[in-house]
Structure formats: structure tokens, C-alpha cells
Chain A
Amino acid sequence: MPVAHLSDAFSFKRSISTKLFVACALVAICSSLGAVKVYLGLNATTRGLHEITDLYRPQQSAARTIARQADLTHQRLFLFVAWSSVGVAAQRTSKLGADLTEALSRIKELLEEPGLRRGLKSAELGLVIEASKQWDDYAKSAMDVLDIGSGDPALATMMLGGVDDQYRSIYQDIIALNNAISDRGDRTASSVSMWASNASAALIAGQVALVALLIVLCALLYRSVFRPVAAVTAAMTAIARGSETAPLPLSKRTDEIGRMIKAIEGFRKKLEADRASIAYLAEHDALTGLSNRTKLEQKTTEVVERAIRSGELAAILLIDLDGFKLVNDTQGHAAGDQLLIQVADRLRLCVSDSEVIFRLGGDEFAILLDDLQAVQAAQFAKELGQVIEAPYHLNGIATRLSGSMGIALAPIDGTTTASLLKRADMALYEAKAEGRNTFRFFRTDIEQHITDQRNLEGDLRNALHLRQFELVFQPLINARTQQTTTFEALIRWRHPTRGVVSPADFIPIAEQIGLMEEIGGWVLDEACSAARSWPDTIRVAVNISGLQLQAGTLDSVVLGALLRNGLPADRLELEITESVLINRSDDIIESLKRLRRRGVRIAIDDFGTGYCSLSYLRLLPFDKVKVDQSFVRDACRASVSIIKAIADLGSSLGAEVTAEGVETAEQCERIVEAGCTELQGYLFSRPMPKSEVSRFLLAAQDQENVA
């Protein structure tokens, strides 16, 4: 705590507010001192001027009056004696005498006037008192002269000398008094002038000091506030422009500005970190931490440019995980995400710089390879395929995946990112079309093929709507009775320009572009509708794709089709490929079991090609197995043995065994001998349109009747 206190006090001591406070206090003190000085000076000046006006001027004027009147009186005394001597009329002389008498006493009164004595120093007062006393003597002598003069002017003349002496003495006193009063006035005036000049000097000094302090204050404000604010603004502008390395000024200061700078520094660091993470997020995939598509485009441009410069080849490798969607759908998105992370980790192990691996979204990845030959790229792709193929463990469940890869080479296949990506994508498409788990280089001839495929996709989307699909039916014949038991519904696509397209060509596409459920539903509906017009003993068989099974809606779709068309459940047979049934979840098996309980028959199609384990077979609900036609066509002993084994297995499990693709009588004889209970193939009938089914049945009946 004490340390914190100390640092607080320290920062407070050096804070701008304190500096400003001190500066303002100085300005206030300086200006008040000056103002007080000026006030006092003006006050003294006023007082002095007041004294000069109210006191010394009257005093001075009184003293002057006394001097003038005394002089005049003295002159008149001489005039009186003169008039007496020359015999001026007695009346005038006595009038002058009376005036003189009055003047003598008036001057005495003036000398005794208290106003004259006010504010005088003792010496000056002494002068006044002395003059007054002397004036008494003078007046007495003057009165004597008047007295004598009226009768004896000569004697009066004699007297004038002494009286004049007396007057001179008084006159000196009066003059001295006058001077003293004048001096006093002068002294006061000079004091007043001194005070005034002091005041003005103080005013100027105060003003100068004030101006100086204001300049200091401005300088302080500029240095402490405005300049740093401008610097901070510049720094902030630089930061806003994105130059995070721009140096922040004044970071060593400890005052408010310094603290602000530190806060900005922190803000900038945070901003930098945020920017970095935003930049990272913008270019990376959040799930796997790999770079994303944006980064790929940027990086591809760089790599291609480098390849062109160096004359080497660069490769862009697009990877699509086969079977990922299945994992996602059956084990959940969390498991799917886990799987993607594991794949990403494996990919990282395959390259030295993980920055060249990208996740483009979903289960699609890309790898950029620099400086290599096509052969090396192939080697790399092959190894990568093996790495991806190795089993994964998701929540204890072993899962398998494979990768399809498309490779485009720069600058052979393209020099722009867009063209390279497009061509790599075409190669990938090709690889997938070739049966997945493989890689393909881009070739110019596949471009056309893929364009075709793409066109086909577009047409396929419209096919249902344009009623381009149709069903054909191929009979299944009971080997013993030679009677038709079932018609298998097969879909045909009558394309306006391509003619009839085989399901082998368009079903995978339909699965890929998500049309399978829709098409499958239509097939079911259409097949049930056709079967209703047939004899009750004849069933219809419909192929169900893996995707239809996975959708989880098979129950409702099947039952809906039966209900809509009024077809009993036991007249419908669902054919499901063995390979589709392998690794299927319990849900699907349950769903099949439910349908079977309702009477729907289940057939395992293409049996013998899917490596179905016999133990697993035991768990599956089925009424029929259909032996794959490859065994039927092959006349070797091994195939015959396999057919025999399947037929044995079927009969022991209580299921029928159907042989597909029977084309010759020889084949027929062989497989019947092997134990198949049902036959299907061109030997009996090609698939026929719906309209021909009844005719075929009638013909068969006729044939039987003939037989």
C-alpha cells in the first residue's frame, strides 16, 4: 500500500492538472499583487489630490490673501501719512484711516483663522502664531501712526520707518508661511505623482509578469496537452490505417498523457492480437485449423507464379472423402467433425508445411504441391490415398474412409487459380466416377466428358417433371412350375436426345445430386400402380437404393405407395443390394423387419459380390437372395459351386434363390441343377413395358395350356 501511495503522489505531483493549477495560482497571485499595489497607489493618490484640493489650496490661498492684504494695508498706511502730509481732504483721509483700521483687524482675524493652521507642522504653526503676535504689535504701531498722522503728518512720517521695520519682520514670517504651505502642497503633489508613477510601474510590472506567466501557461498547455494530443492523434490515425508498428510518442511520461499513451498502447496490442486472430480466422478453417478456400486462392496464385518463373511444375490436389456423408448421417455431426479433424491431422503428416493444406468445406480438402514432376505428384497422391484409407477410431468404433483425388498441374493445365481449381475438380469428378478411392490427373478429354456429365445432371433434375422416366418389367420364373411369380420393375430414362439411358449411368448421378429419394418414391408408386392390374398371384419387385434406406423414411414411403394403389403388402418385394446392406445400422434392419412383418418381401440383390459374412446374413430379414449374374454367366466350376452353395444356404434359411441374367438354355439347366428356385433373364423375357405385361401373361398361360 505504501508503495502504491507513493507512486500515486508521484504521478499527482507531475500531473498536468497540478501544473495548470500551480500556473493559474501564480497568475492569480501575480495579478492580485499588482492590483493591490495599483489600488493602494491610486488610493494614496486620491488622498493626496484630496489634500491638495481641499486643504492646501485653501490654506495656500488664505496665506496668499494675508500676504497680499498685509502688503496692501501697509501701503495704505504710507498713503495715509502721505495724504495727511499733503493735506488731502480730511474726510477722505479719515475714510482711509477707517478702512485701514478695519483691514488691520481683518488680517488679524485671517491669521487667527483655524483653517490656516490645520495640518501644519509645529514649526509652521510657530510661524503663524509669531506672525499673528507680531501683527498685533504692527497694528498697534499702525494705529499710533493713524492717531498721530491725523494731527502731525511729519511725526507720522517719522513713525513710518519703525512701522516699516515691524512690517518687514511680519512680512518675512508671512512669506515663510506661504512658502511652507506651498512646499507642503508641492511635497504632497510630488508624493501624489510618486504614488501614481509607482502605481503605473506596478501596473506595467504586473502586466508584464502576467503576460510572461500566460506565455508560460500557454507553453505548458502546448507542451503538456496540445502537442501530445496531436502526436496521439497522428499515432491513432496511423493505427487506424493499419500500421501497427508506428511508434507511439511520449510513452515515458508519467502524467495523464503518459497514462493515456499506455492505455492506447494496450489498446493497440489488443487490436493487433484481434487483427491477427481475425486474419487467421479469415484464412483458416475453424474446425481443423487448416487454411481455407480464400487462402487457397491466394496461395495458388503465388505458387503458380513461382512455378512459371522457375520452370518447374506445381500441382493442386483436390481430395474428396468417399463415404464421409454416411458417417455424418449415421454417427452424427460430432463424429463427422471428429473424423474431419483426424483426416486433417493425417494430411499434415504428409507435407512439411501445413500451410499448403486447405479445407474447402464439407469433406473436401486441397493440397498445393510446389516444384515437382507429374510422377512425383502421382506418387504423392497414391501415398495420400493409403494414409486416408487406414482405419479411424470414432468413439471406439472403427470407421473406414477413402479419398478420391483430382490433380491439376500448373502451368500445364492452367495458369489462373480459377482454371486450375476447375480442372482439378474435373479430375476429382472423374476419379469419383471411376469408382472412388483413386486419383486422376486432369486430361483435356475428360473435360468434355465431365461437361456431359454436368449436362446429364441438369437433364436428370428435370426428367421426373418431364415424365421421361418409365418402368419396364422383367419376369421372374419359377424354375419348377415355369410360371411367372414376379415382375422386377426396372427404370428407364428416355432422354430426348441421348435415347434410353441405363440406370447404371444415371442412378449414381441421381444419388450424388440427391434425387434418389424422389425417383425411388416415383418408382415404388409406379410399380405398385402397375401391379394392381395384374393377377393376384404375381408380385412386383422394386430396387431400393442405399440412399433410400439411409433416409430412414422407407417404411412410410413403402406403406404410402401400397395404400395409395390398394396393393396388398405381400405382393411387393424390395430388392436391396448386398453391398448396401453390409455395415448398415440396426435402424435400417429394424425398418426392414417391420416392413417384412407387414408382409412386404425382402430380397438380397447381387448376392455373392458384397462379401457378406454368413453370421451377418443371419441377422438380416429376407425372403429371397438373387445370385449375381456374373456367377450365372461364368460357366466354370467354381461359379457353379458358389451358386450351389448359395442355393443350399437359401433353402436352409427358407429363402428362395433367384438366378439373374439367364440367357441360354444351358445356363438355365446348370443353375436349376445347382438348386436355384427362380430364374430371370433374356432366355425368358427381356424387360417389357407395362402395356405388354398382360399379353405376356396370357401368352404364357396359352403356352401352358398347350403344354
Chain B
Amino acid sequence: MKWYQALILILLLFVPNLSAAEDFGTRQEAVDMVKRVKALAARDGLQAAVEAVNSQRPEFKIKDLYPFIYTLEGISVAHGANVKMVGKSWITTKDQDGNYLIQTMVATASSREGSGWVNYKWPNPLTHKIQDKSAYIEKLGEDYFVGVGIYSGL
């Protein structure tokens, strides 16, 4: 890591919390939300599910939980927190620890189980802070996976 990158990251650490702590979603709620997305996709098709997620329908916006759908190549298809992420490739994205989180997700979805928990760091849409996150991932159809993560502490 170059010096300026380190500097910037240090600066980011000093950014004050802009919002008060809220209620965090639980692991079960996350798994449930994944199941809901999958159910919607199964019932109304992938496109319906994508639109539902992107439009942040209430059943997909609980506490700080939101679903996200990626192709197995790491391209965002739907995102419950930031629709701008849709259409972009995130396969090379890594967290502060150097963890290529999307790749790990792809690997989890592509595993024999087709689901699992992946731990990483990600900005909290409510606090705009990067927090430890644990996301439940499940494969969606042949080419996608869907996931919902919970933030844990600061």
C-alpha cells in the first residue's frame, strides 16, 4: 500500500459518525430476506425480483438489511442500498483486509452447498461507515447469486 493510500484510509477513520446506532438486522432476518428474493424470482422471474430489490420495496428494506444480486462474474444486477452499483463489475473489489469479498461470494454460491456465510467489511448505508459485515449467500438460478448481509458493531 502506498503512503497516500494509507493516509487517505487514516483520514477516513477519523470521519465522525453521522447517525446514531440503529437496530441491526439478525442473521435469521438476513436468511429470510434471501429466501424471499429467491421466492419472488421463482414466482415472478428474475426480472421481477431485480426490480423489487432495486426499487427498495419494504419487504426488502428491513432495518439495515437489504438484498443484492450479482452475476457469477461479479457484476451487480440489483442492489437494495445503492442502485448505482448495478451494472458495474465488482469482482476485483476488496475490503480493508485485502479480502476479495465478491470473489468469495461467487465461490460460496458456486460451491456444492450453493449457500453460506461470507464475512467482510462494507460501508453501512445508514451510518456511511465501513463496518464488519456478514452476508448470507445463496445461488440464484444458474448464473446469479443473491445475498443479504448483517453489520456487526463498529
Contacts and interface: CB of A to CB of B under 8 A. Distances in A.
A165 B92 contact: yes
A164 B5 contact: yes
A78 B9 CA distance: 10
Nearest to B128: A154
Interface string A143-164: 0100110011111011111111
A82 interface: yes
Contact of B12 (A75, A85, A141, A144): A85
Interface in B81-104: 82, 84-85, 88-96, 98, 100
Of B2, B100, B122, chain A has the most CB atoms within 10 Å of the CB of B2
Given A78-B4, A141-B92, A158 B15 contact: no
Given A147-B84, A152-B82, A154-B128, A161 B93 contact: yes
Q: Tell me the interface secondary structure of chain A in the complex.
A: helix
Contact of B8 (A81, A147, A151, A155): A81
Contacts of B121: 158
A215 B1 CA distance: 73
B130 interface: yes
Given A157-B123, A158-B130, A78 B5 contact: yes
Interface in A119-159: 140-141, 144, 147-148, 151-155, 157-159
B79 to A, nearest CB: 10
B129 interface: yes
A141 B128 CA distance: 21
Contacts of A147: 84, 88
Contacts of B8: 78-79, 81-82, 85, 157, 160
A154 B129 contact: yes
B12 A161 contact: no
A158 B122 contact: yes
B11 interface: yes
A154 B5 contact: no
A86 interface: yes
Given A78-B4, A154-B129, A164-B5, A159 B93 contact: yes
A157 B95 CA distance: 9
Nearest to B92: A162
A640 to B, nearest CB: 187
A144 to B, nearest CB: 5
A64 to B, nearest CB: 19
A166 interface: yes
A152 B92 contact: no
Contacts of B122: 158
A82 B92 contact: no
B92 A144 contact: no
B93 A157 contact: no
A144 B129 contact: no
Nearest to A143: B88
Nearest to A157: B12
Interface string B33-77: 000000000000000000000000000000000000000000000
A70 to B, nearest CB: 13
Chain A: interface size category? 20 to 34
Nearest to A82: B8
Interface string A161-186: 11111100000000000000000000
Contact of B93 (A79, A140, A162): A162
A153 B15 CA distance: 11
Of A79, A81, A85, A162, chain B has the most CB atoms within 10 Å of the CB of A162
Given A82-B11, A141-B92, A162-B93, A154 B98 contact: no
Nearest to B2: A164
A141 B93 CA distance: 10
Contact of A158 (B88, B91, B93): B93
Contact of A162 (B9, B85, B94, B129): B94
B11 A86 contact: yes
A153 B8 CA distance: 12
Interface string A63-106: 00000000000010011011001100000000000000000000
Contacts of A144: 88-89
Nearest to B9: A157
B88 A160 contact: no
B123 A155 contact: yes
Nearest to A167: B2
A85 B15 CA distance: 8
B140 to A, nearest CB: 22
A163 B124 CA distance: 21
Nearest to B127: A154
Interface string B119-135: 00111100011100000
A54 B102 CA distance: 49
A110 to B, nearest CB: 22
A600 to B, nearest CB: 170
Contact of A151 (B5, B84, B124): B84
Contacts of A148: 82, 84-85, 88
Nearest to A78: B8
B84 to A, nearest CB: 6
A147 B4 CA distance: 21
18 contacts: A81-B8, A85-B12, A86-B11, A86-B15, A140-B89, A141-B89, A144-B89, A147-B84, A147-B88, A148-B85, A151-B84, A154-B123, A158-B121, A159-B90, A160-B8, A161-B95, A161-B98, A162-B92
Can you list the 7 inter-chain pairs with the closest CB atoms, starting with the nearest?
A: A154-B123, A162-B92, A161-B94, A162-B93, A82-B8, A144-B88, A155-B123
Interface of B: 1-2, 4-5, 8-9, 11-12, 15, 82, 84-85, 88-96, 98, 100, 121-124, 128-130
Interface of A: 75, 78-79, 81-82, 85-86, 140-141, 144, 147-148, 151-155, 157-166
